[in-house]
Amino acid sequence: MSGAQNTETPEAASGAAPARRPGAGVGRVLVAVYAILALAATGRSVFQIIDRFGEAPVAFLLSALAGVIYIVATIALGARLRTLALVTISIELVGVLVVGTLSLVAPALLGLHSLDPFGRDSTVWSAFGAGYLLVPLVLPVLGLLYLRSGSARGSARGATGQAKA
């Protein structure tokens, strides 16, 4: 370690991947997890809307909204669009906290009939994402931490630098 600002991984330092920004790789795993969650949320909402939209329209539209946001966040992280990633991930965090709280405190407001996270009308954000092993609650936090970290900024520098120049 040559200096205080040297946060390079041993892999990058040893020259194994000179073209790759340090830590950019961890972001790829984040992209993969986001892609799977996007698939899960979208798949579920499409099925709910086609099969039984009338049962809980608010919850199902929230499911669809969540699915779209996860898709956009996946693309933003993958394409290193930092601002778009920041916005979508922030919406996710607010969404899971608000909808998670509402689903427990006032389920009727969302048109939910049961609190079962695997139930017929639950959304990806119901009960803080318990139906998805709480991944929807943890993932935005990890996403924001990743965007805050120097590695994400480093890999986004190319794009923002171009914009400034």
Partner 1 sequence: MIAGFTVAQVIVTCVAGLLCTVLGLARRRPNDLTLGALVVVEVLLLAQLVIALISPALGNQPHGSVPLFYVYLISALLIPPLAVFWGLIERTRWSTVVLGVAAFAIAVMVVRMQQIWTP
By CB under 8 A, tell whether 32 contacts partner 1: yes
Tokens of 131: 């139906």
Binding-site member from 36, 61, 104, 134 for partner 1 (CB under 8 A):
36
Binding-site member from 20, 94, 145, 158 for partner 1 (CB under 8 A):
20
Residues that contact partner 1, how many (by CB under 8 A): 17
Span of 34-42, 55-63, 92-100, 109-117 interacting with partner 1 by CB under 8 A: 34-42
**Shortest distance, CB of residue 132 to partner 1, whole angstroms?**
8
Identify which of 52, 64, 70 has the alpha carbon closest to the alpha carbon of residue 113: 52
- Secondary structure of 41-104 in HEC code, one letter for each residue: HHHHHHHHHHHHHHHCHHHHHHHHHHHHHHHHHHHHHHCCCHHHHHHHHHHHHHHHHHHHHHHH
Q: CA separation (Å) from 3 to 6, 14, 141, 150? A: 5, 16, 29, 15
**Shortest distance, CB of residue 106 to partner 1, whole angstroms?**
27
DSSP character at residue 158:
H
DSSP character at residue 4:
T
By CB under 8 A, tell whether 118 contacts partner 1: yes
Span of 39-47, 57-65, 79-87, 92-100 interacting with partner 1 by CB under 8 A: 39-47
Residues that bind partner 1 (CB under 8 A): 11, 17, 20, 25-26, 28-29, 32-33, 36, 39-40, 43, 47, 51, 118, 133
